[in-house]
Amino acid sequence: MQVYINGRFLVQRITGVQRFAREIIKMLDHQLDIKCTILVPSEFQGWDSFQNIKIKKIGKLSGHLWEQLELPLYVKGRPLINLCNTGPVFKRNQIITIHDAAVYASPQGFSKLFRVWYKTMFFFFRLLSRKILTVSEFSKNELVKYLKVNSDKLKTISEGKEHFDKIKEDDSILPKMKLKKNCYILAVSSMNPNKNFQTLVETTQYLKDESFEIVIAGGTDCRVFNRVNLTNENIKHAGYVTDEELKSLYMHAGCFVFPSVYEGFGLPPLEAMSVGCPILVSNVGPMPEVAGEAAVYFNPYDSKDLAQKIKYVMNNDEVKNKLKEAGLKQADKFSWKTVATQLIGHIKQLDL
């Protein structure tokens, strides 16, 4: 069985959806049922070597033009797998992974051009694509609500956490940012307003008498997301960090806070749990699916509630230890190997 994989994600900065794609590809490389070739734009400069998967450069264009014109022209009627929200709009024999319905449910976080283009793509995916995958029951329900996708076409797969197991932490980030172990609260993600980091800013007014700091790791793409005002002397911005630095920040944080008001899945809380970091997550969206009983939940629209929950965790070692143990057990339920197996099952339903 021969399938092609849309490899545009290999020339993009790694965020949650690109991480999702890369980790699945690594697992697909260990199976022999399906022969996979990743098609990439000419700008591709190289990535991990594979045992069984081939990488092939095609075309001369880049970005959406490459994806809409040169990619489908090369693939023609053969099966194509798209893992990162986008793909050729007029192709039928393909699988599209749509990670969330944020452009419908929470459009204020995106530029007008971004919203129009993604809604256009999603409309044609609903009509033409053989199958649509998403990453949580919450996201599935949202896509049914906004896109009116037939339940037979829309299926769920999960996410995993093994990528963190292989990373060696880089503790140099701590002295670089003047951080003390277990004396800071960590938040991680892009500065999309849906991530609701503004609530963290408001929370600091209730934490003035506490000795811990708040650290936000991650960047912002102002071409896509509207600006978020996060100016506050009690918050340290780490910006983009390496995977090794990020693992260290997770491992040595007093707790991890995820105040997002809209997610398709929520990979950062899973990463935090996988290294034993106590987590506090919002009580909306897919968070109960991801964190189960291994988290302290808070109202993401109530900064006072968040502040109280932060104090409860940060000032109670027994609570921290229970959350750590529960988080490790919860994280073990998620595996990229399982996700790859799920994907293979869906691939076999295409015209191969």
User: Contact 108/193 with Cβ under 8 angstroms?
Assistant: yes
Model confidence at 231: pLDDT above 80: no
Confidence label for 224 from pLDDT (cuts 50, 70 and 90): very low
- The first and second tokens of residue 83, run together, are 């893992």
The closest alpha carbon to 104, from 128, 129, 121, belongs to: 121
pLDDT for the residue numbered 237: 85
Model confidence at 18: pLDDT above 70: yes
- Location of structure tokens 């095609």: 58
List beta partners, residue 296. Answer: 280
Is the CA virtual torsion 189, 282, 262, 213 positive or negative? negative
pLDDT for the residue numbered 57: 95
More confident call, 72 vs 150: 72
148 Cβ contact partners less than 8 Å away, ≥ 6 residues apart: 126
Confidence label for 21 from pLDDT (cuts 50, 70 and 90): very high
Confidence label for 150 from pLDDT (cuts 50, 70 and 90): confident
Model confidence at 64: pLDDT above 60: yes
Is the CA virtual torsion 16, 112, 216, 304 positive or negative? negative
More confident call, 253 vs 204: 253
Integer CA distances (angstroms), 23 to 35, 83, 90, 165, 204, in order: 17, 11, 27, 12, 36
274-321 pLDDT per residue, tens: 999 999 999 999 999 999 999 999 999 999 999 999 999 999 999 999
User: Contact 284/298 with Cβ under 8 angstroms?
Assistant: no
Model confidence at 223: pLDDT above 70: no
| Region 138-151 average pLDDT | 94
Full set of structural domains in the chain with CATH: 2-160+335-347 (3.40.50.2000), 163-331 (3.40.50.2000)
Integer CA distances (angstroms), 157 to 99, 102, 116, 261, 339, in order: 10, 18, 26, 21, 6
Model confidence at 137: pLDDT above 50: yes
Q: What is the mean pLDDT of the chain?
A: 91
Q: In the sheet where 255-258 sits, what is the strand order? A: 235-239, 213-217, 184-188, 255-258, 279-282, 295-298
| Region 11-19 average pLDDT | 88
pLDDT for the residue numbered 33: 83
- 196 φ/ψ sector (left φ>0, alpha ψ -120 to 50, else beta): left
* Percent of the chain scoring above 70 in pLDDT: 93
pLDDT for the residue numbered 39: 97
Q: pTM higher than 0.85, yes or no?
A: yes
Model confidence at 335: pLDDT above 60: yes
| H-assigned helices in 66-196 | 71-75, 102-105, 112-128, 137-147, 162-165, 173-176
Q: For residues 23 and 163, give the distance between their C-alpha atoms in angstroms, rounded to a whole number.
A: 7
